């Protein structure tokens, strides 16, 4: 088959465009954790950074979305992939409060909170790179731990 220069370029462009997205983002979860995640939460969506999330409850779609520097008030439960709870703040009278994108939160929280509306409740599954890293937070969080959080955004503002 004899292709013209234009046909060859077109074919090459099609091949490059179809292969490109396959290499856009690497999977950040270890294979054994990924199997558990896909089995337990098959409906979870994936962010570009590999965080998996499920919107458990939608809040006020017209409400504020946290921006860098804002203080958030949240209720949360954090657990390991095996279900062991390592931290929580579930009392609405005493929510957890922190500033977004000010090195007060793990990177996954900084990312996800900026996508949530006031009143949203999300389940997020966090690769260790966006959680407590290779060191973990002994003794509660082991090294390279995949984390699961339920986060409810109660409020955000400049307080």
Q: What domains appear along the chain, each with residue ranges and CATH number?
A: 26-157 (3.10.50.40)
Place of tokens 């337990």: 40
- Nearest Cα neighbor of 120 from 44, 157, 66 is 66
Helix (H, G, I), strand (E, B) or coil at 52: strand
Per-residue pLDDT of the chain (159 residues), as tens digits, is 565 756 555 555 554 454 444 434 688 999 999 999 999 999 999 999 999 999 999 999 887 899 999 999 999 999 999 999 999 999 999 999 999 999 999 999 999 999 999 999 999 999 999 999 999 999 999 999 999 999 999 999 986
Phi, psi of 59 (to 5 degrees): -95, -145
């Amino acid at each position: 088959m004899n292709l013209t220069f234009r046909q060859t370029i077109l074919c090459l462009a099609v091949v490059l465009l179809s292969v490109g997205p396959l290499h856009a983002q690497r999977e950040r979860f270890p294979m054994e954790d990924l199997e558990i995640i896909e089995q337990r939460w098959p409906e979870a969506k994936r962010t570009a950074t590999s965080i998996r999330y499920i919107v458990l409850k939608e809040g006020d779609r017209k409400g504020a979305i946290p921006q860098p520097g804002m203080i958030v008030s949240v209720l949360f439960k954090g657990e390991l992939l095996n279900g062991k709870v390592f931290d929580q703040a579930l009392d609405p009278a005493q929510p957890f409060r922190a500033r977004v994108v000010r090195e007060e939160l793990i990177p996954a929280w900084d990312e996800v909170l900026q996508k949530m509306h006031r009143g949203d409740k999300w389940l997020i599954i966090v690769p260790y790179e966006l959680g407590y890293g290779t060191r973990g937070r002994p003794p509660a969080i082991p090294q390279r731990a995949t984390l699961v959080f339920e986060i409810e955004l109660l409020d955000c503002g400049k307080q």
